[in-house]
Amino acid sequence: MSDDISTYRSHRPARRWLFTMAAVTVMTAVVTPVAATAAQSSCEAPPRSSPDYNDFVLTYKSACATKKNYDRTFEDVTASVLVDQRNRLAVTTSTALAGAIASVKVNNKEFISSGGHGAAFQYAFHAWQEGEAATECYNPTQAGTRLDDVGQPPPYHGPSTSALYTMAGSGSSIRTAGRPAMFVTLADTKPGWGNCRSADHQDERVPFTMGLSPYWLQTEIELAPDHDAPALENVFRAAATITSDDERHDHFSGVLVAYLQSDFTKVFSYSPDTGRLSPKPVDSHTSKDPMVRCTDDGAYCLGMYVKPEVLGDKAYYYTMTRPPMDYNGYFGENTIQVTSPSGAMDKGDKVNYETYVVVGDKSRVEQTMTQLHRAFR
């Protein structure tokens, strides 16, 4: 599990604040469409040699992203909540990324690296038969396909092949519904990771010939006070249901993966027994304990927590760091994810996923993990 196929993604190039604990808090939750009006900053990329280029590509700007999905138009949707009466936590889902999370911000600090359709904060899946292995060439992916970035200008937020049918906010929640694309489509002649070929894993029939997968995905994002730990304002709940419209597969696995900004260099695991965060290897780490990534100074952290009964025996947390290389568009990768194998998947079967995402400085995230574990164990 130390080299997890589910993190093989591509950023295509051509890819201090402190939360303090409060005895009494007041929350203001807001969901707003992100209007596609005049750009607050230019959508023309600086030269690749510029020190501002990576930030331009990897930091999501709604004004620089399409609002079209096939013949449908959706404005991006942002849900936000005021934490401790002074820090604004905001989560934005993107039409360009077919409803995937393109941005998680606290005040003006962006957590998510969102360049292209193979990054951001999204769900991805694998299905395979006994005797085979998970492959990038059978990889339904919420945000879209590898080809969606080819020929697009930076920041690579043009239209997605994934079909988005619903993206709407209410209260402090966002809900989406769509059909994920295959990350490596039949039309994509370039081999995937491990030299796989899409034609060896996908039939020459609809929906594969359209670049789509035979699965339906519904997601929901809930900020406080809408989720079931409403006192924890620095937490949002990410949940999803995937429904198969495909033939039986002996093995099925779902992933919720966040690509974080390049300054999230530190990796920790949270021990429910001690209530403490412990440093872990940066290159890759697999754990049954919740994982956290932080900036070097610990001022900004993002962690994932899954209820023990949901995690079960098979699911696990995974982090990975990769340097800039051709595969990731020379941007590097700093990921954190939950991988959830679920056994056989028949046509009509549904699988549910639920993850709590915790943000704050290192101390606040550690404390919040303890509060979540006490609430849900």
Half-sphere exposure of 239 (CA within 13 A, CB side): 14
- pLDDT at position 329: 73
**pLDDT tens digits along 90-127:** 999 999 999 999 999 999 999 999 999 999 999 999 99
State the Cα–Cα distance between residues 55 and 6, nearest whole angstrom.
25
> Reduced to 3 states, what is the DSSP secondary structure of residue 194?
helix
| 51 cis-preceded (ω within 30 degrees of 0) | no
- pLDDT at position 331: 84
- pLDDT at position 28: 43
- pLDDT at position 61: 96
Across the chain, mean pLDDT equals 91
- pLDDT at position 25: 30
Which domains occur in the chain, in start order?
5-16+24-376 (2.70.98)
The dihedral through the CA atoms of 54, 57, 59, 63 has a sign that is: positive
- pLDDT at position 41: 55
For residue 209, the one-letter residue type is T
State the Cα–Cα distance between residues 255 and 231, nearest whole angstrom.
27
For residue 373, the one-letter residue type is H
Q: How far from each other are the two terminal CA atoms of the chain, in whole angstroms?
A: 25
**Residue ranges in the chain modelled with pLDDT below 50:** 1-3, 7-28, 36-40
On whether the CB atoms of residues 216 and 243 are closer than 8 A, the answer is yes
- pLDDT at position 6: 53
Distances from the Cα of 143 to the Cα of 68, 76, 283, angstroms: 13, 14, 25
- pLDDT at position 314: 96
> Model pTM?
0.91
